[in-house]
Structure 1
Amino acid sequence: MFYHLATVLLAALFFAQGKYVRRVTPKLPEPEGLRKGIYGNGSPTSLLIMGDSSAAGVGVELQQYALAGSMLNALGSHYQVAWELMAKTGDTSTQLLEKIQQLETHQHYETVVISIGVNDVTGLTSSTKWTHNLSLIAHTLKEKLGAKRVLFSSLPPMHLFPALPQPLRWWLGTRAKQLNALAQVVCQSQPYCHFISAPFPIDQRFIAQDGFHPGPLAYQLWGEYLARVLQEQLTKHY
Structure 2
Amino acid sequence: MNKTLNYFCENYTSNTLAGTSVQSYFTPQGKLAAYAFYKPFLAGEFDYSFLFTNTVDSTYSDGSLTKCNDPCGEWKIFDCKVIICNDVNAALNGSYDKSKEFVLTFRGSPEKKVLPNETFYTDSAKLNVTENEYICIKTVFEGKNIPCHIENKILTYIDDGNGVKADKYVPLPSMIGVKRHVKKKIAFWGDSITQGIGCKEDSYAHYTAVCAEILGNEYSFWNLGIGFGRAADAATNGAWADKVKTCDTVIVCFGVNDLYKIGDYEKIKTSYDRIIGILKGKRVIFQTIPPFDYPDNLCEIYLKLNDYIRKELSKKVYAVFDETPYLSDSENPFAAKYGGHPDEIGCKLWGERLADFLRDKI
TM over 0.5: yes
1:172 to 273, 293, 298: 298
Q: 1:63 Cα shift?
A: 5.9
Note if 1:52 corresponds to 2:191: yes
1:65 to 195, 198, 205: 205
Note if 1:152 corresponds to 2:274: no
Change beyond 3 A, Cα 1:206–1:64: farther
Equivalent position amino acid for 2:195 in 1 = A
2:314 to 185, 188, 204: 188
Greater strand share, structure number:
2
Tell me the percent identity: 20
Change beyond 3 A, Cα 1:186–1:130: farther
User: For structure 1, which segment, 128-137 or 62-71, has the greater mean C-alpha deviation from structure 2 after superposition?
Assistant: 62-71
**Alignment of structure 1 residues 20-59 onto 2, 5 Å:** 29-32=151-154, 36=175, 44-59=183-198
Partner of 2:259: 121
Preserved contact between residue 121 and residue 172 of structure 1 (Cα < 8 Å): yes
Preserved contact between residue 234 and residue 241 of structure 2 (Cα < 8 Å): no
Change beyond 3 A, Cα 1:196–1:107: closer
TM-score normalised according to structure 2 size: 0.45
User: d(CA) in 2 for partners of 1:80 and 1:95?
Assistant: 31
Q: 1:58 Cα shift?
A: 0.6
**Alignment of structure 1 residues 68-147 onto 2, 5 Å:** 68-76=208-216, 80-98=218-236, 103-104=241-242, 107-142=245-280, 146-147=281-282
User: d(CA) in 1 for partners of 2:209 and 2:286?
Assistant: 18
Change beyond 3 A, Cα 1:180–1:107: closer
- SS in structure 1 of the partner of residue 219 of structure 2: strand
Equivalent position amino acid for 2:327 in 1 = F
Q: 1:55 Cα shift?
A: 1.0
- SS in structure 1 of the partner of residue 279 of structure 2: helix
Q: 1:37 Cα shift?
A: 5.7
Higher-Rg member (1/2): 2
- SS in structure 2 of the partner of residue 232 of structure 1: coil
Gaps of 5+ in 2: 1-149, 156-172
User: d(CA) in 2 for partners of 1:135 and 1:106?
Assistant: 16
TM-score normalised according to structure 1 size: 0.66
- Aligned positions, number: 188
User: d(CA) in 2 for partners of 1:201 and 1:52?
Assistant: 18
Partner of 2:125: none
Preserved contact between residue 30 and residue 53 of structure 1 (Cα < 8 Å): no
Preserved contact between residue 37 and residue 82 of structure 1 (Cα < 8 Å): no
Preserved contact between residue 327 and residue 336 of structure 2 (Cα < 8 Å): no
- SS in structure 2 of the partner of residue 44 of structure 1: coil
Change beyond 3 A, Cα 1:205–1:114: closer
User: d(CA) in 2 for partners of 1:107 and 1:91?
Assistant: 17
Change beyond 3 A, Cα 1:120–1:66: same
Note if 1:230 corresponds to 2:358: yes
Please give the root-mean-square deviation of Cα atoms over the aligned residues, in Å.
Answer: 3.3
User: d(CA) in 2 for partners of 1:226 and 1:194?
Assistant: 12
Equivalent position amino acid for 2:320 in 1 = F
Preserved contact between residue 234 and residue 240 of structure 2 (Cα < 8 Å): no
Equivalent position amino acid for 1:194 in 2 = A
Change beyond 3 A, Cα 1:55–1:106: closer
1:200 to 323, 327, 333: 327
